[in-house]
Amino acid sequence: MHSGWERNQIYNEDCLTGLKRLPDESVDLVITDPPFAIDFTPLRDNYKRHPHLVLGGYQEVKTVDYPDFTRNWMTQIRRVLKESGAAFIFSGWNNLKDILVTADALNLITVNHLIWKYQFGVVCKYRFVTSHYHCLYLCKDNKQRKFFHNARFSSDDRTATGRSKRYADLEDVWTIQREYWHGDMKTPTKLPGELIRKILAYTSEPGDLVLDPFLGSRQVAVISRESGRDYIGFEIVPAYFEFAKNRLAEMP
Ligand SMILES: C[S@@+](CC[C@H](N)C(=O)[O-])C[C@H]1O[C@@H](n2cnc3c(N)ncnc32)[C@H](O)[C@@H]1O
């Protein structure tokens, strides 16, 4: 049982419980990748990973419970977010509708509907290969939210063929490769560091508090710390929590 909360801490806890301890309007940015409500275990072999390197126990939500589950955690996100804050919520296409419907019901403004295009590496014979995720960029107040247009490129930065690098970087389809972590232990799903770095650069400042209620391997906390942001997060599975804690302990 935890009490209180601290910046730069993660908690081995159900986020539906833990989020209630965070004060109203205390968080600058949410970056999160909630459970998808699909069964991951049978897919594991398809991902061409060695099962002994993938931590078991992934905590899923039943499809039938997904709308209530989504409403519960997103209500807390809205409460803890500052008026100047923003939330980036990743979703596969399967249960995207629940997140879209909930965002509208909670009066969150959709700033962008981003597509993260990645390589899946699985051949499908009878349908097209899934190679993208959705990422909703949401906010409470469109006038107060932060956006740093020149965060990564200036108008002078050009490719060899003269194209603007800044324009390309600001398009809403982001092609970023998955990280494989060959030979290392891993959780079944994780966001690439580059994806999180890009969100942090454009929409946050050093010292901002970044929340991930569904930490998994703790990518959001690790990259936030690397980028000089503060973090807080929750993970319900003890083995994932320990894995995440050790990753942070190894950081300089
Ligand atoms: C899709 S994964 C997140 C992966 C993460 N973005 C990363 O880069 O490693 C979702 C995570 O949420 C965790 N989870 C599921 N229900 C939870 C809950 N109620 N509270 C906290 N964590 C939960 C799962 O165990 C899983 O690790």
Tell me, in angstroms, the distance from the centre of ligand 1 to residue 243's CA.
13
Share of the chain above pLDDT 90, in %: 71
* CA atoms of 151 and 246, how far apart (whole Å): 31
Report yes or no on 1 lying in a domain: no
Tell me, in angstroms, the distance from the centre of ligand 1 to residue 143's CA.
31
pLDDT at 183: 52
- 232 pLDDT higher than 80: yes
* CA atoms of 234 and 217, how far apart (whole Å): 11
Q: What is the pLDDT of residues 122-149, one digit of tens each?
A: 888 999 998 999 999 999 999 999 999 9
Query: For ligand 1, what atom is nearest to the CA of residue 215?
Result: 5
Among residues 169, 224, 168, the alpha carbon closest in space to that of 196 is found at 224
| CATH number of residue 83's parent domain | 3.40.50.150
Planar angle of CA 51, 53, 55, nearest 5 degrees: 85
pLDDT at 122: 80
pLDDT at 83: 98
Q: What is the pLDDT of residues 18-76, one digit of tens each?
A: 999 999 999 999 999 999 876 545 444 444 445 444 555 556 788 899 999 999 999 99
Does residue 240 line the site of ligand 1, with CB under 6 A? yes
Report yes or no on 98 lying in a domain: yes
Does residue 14 line the site of ligand 1, with CB under 6 A? yes
Report yes or no on 51 lying in a domain: yes
Domains contained in the chain, number: 1
Does residue 12 line the site of ligand 1, with CB under 6 A? no
Share of the chain above pLDDT 70, in %: 88
The residues, ordered by sequence, that sit 6+ positions from 36 with a Cβ below 8 Å of its Cβ are: 60, 91, 92, 94, 95
8 A C-beta contact, residue 212 and residue 221:
yes
Tell me, in angstroms, the distance from the centre of ligand 1 to residue 216's CA.
5
Minimum CA distance residue for ligand 1 atom 19: 14
Segment 164-181 shows an average pLDDT of 92
- The average confidence (pLDDT) of the chain is 89
Report yes or no on 20 lying in a domain: yes
Does residue 188 line the site of ligand 1, with CB under 6 A? no
Report yes or no on 3 lying in a domain: no
Domain of 15 in residue numbering reads as 9-249
